[in-house]
Homo-oligomer: A and B are copies of this chain.
Amino acid sequence: MFAVMATAFEVLAEPVRRQILDLLRERPRSVGELTEQLGLTQPGTSKHLRVLRDAGLVRVRPEAQRRWYELCPEPLAELDAWLAPYRWMWSGRLDALERHLNTMPSGSDTSAGPAGHQQIDPESEELP
C-alpha cells in the first residue's frame, strides 16, 4: 500500500526532485508555480511532491485552494552524516580553510562542473 518511507538518498536520486528542492530553497512555491518551472504536468508535480512530503523533505501549508510547499531540510542531515567520513578524502590535502572553500561555490574547479570524471584508470580492464 503505502511505500515504506524512502531514505533521502532514494528520494534525491530523481533529478526532478533535486530541482524541486533547489527551487524551494529560494522560497516557498505553489504547485502551479513548480509545475511551470519543471515543465511537467500538474499531476506529475504533485506526485513528486508527495514523495518529498513522505520523506519529510518538504512541508505543505494550505491557503484556500493553493498549497504552499516549503523546504524541510532536516532529512538532508542523513546525507551529510553518511558523507562525513568521506569528506576528508577528497579535500584532505588542503588545509581547513581551503577545505571549507571547497565545499562552497568557488571558481577553482568549475571547469567540468561538480565532480565530473576523475583520474579513473582509463583501462582498468584487461584488453584482449
Residues of A within 8 A of B (CB): 7-10, 12-13, 15, 18-19, 21-23, 25-26, 33, 36-37, 53, 56, 59-62, 71-87, 89-91, 97, 99-107, 109-121, 124-127
> Quick check: B110 and A112 within 8 Å, CB to CB?
yes
Assembled-state Cα–Cα distance A7/B97 (Å): 25
Are A113's CB and B105's CB within 8 A? yes
Q: How many of these chains are in the complex?
A: 2
Closest chain B residue to A73, Cβ basis = B89
Min CB–CB distance A82 → chain B (angstroms): 7
Which residue on chain B has the smallest CB distance to residue A117?
B56
Q: A18-B82, A73-B89, A120-B56 are in contact. Are A110 and B105 (CB under 8 A)?
A: yes
- Docked-complex contact B105 and A103, CB < 8 angstroms: no
- Bound CA–CA A53/B62 (angstroms): 45
From the candidates B19, B61, B77, B120, name the one contacting A119 in the complex (CB within 8 A). B19
Known: A9-B15, A105-B112, A114-B115. 13 other contacts (CB 8 A): A9-B12, A9-B18, A18-B82, A36-B126, A60-B121, A60-B124, A75-B118, A77-B115, A78-B114, A81-B103, A101-B103, A105-B115, A107-B109
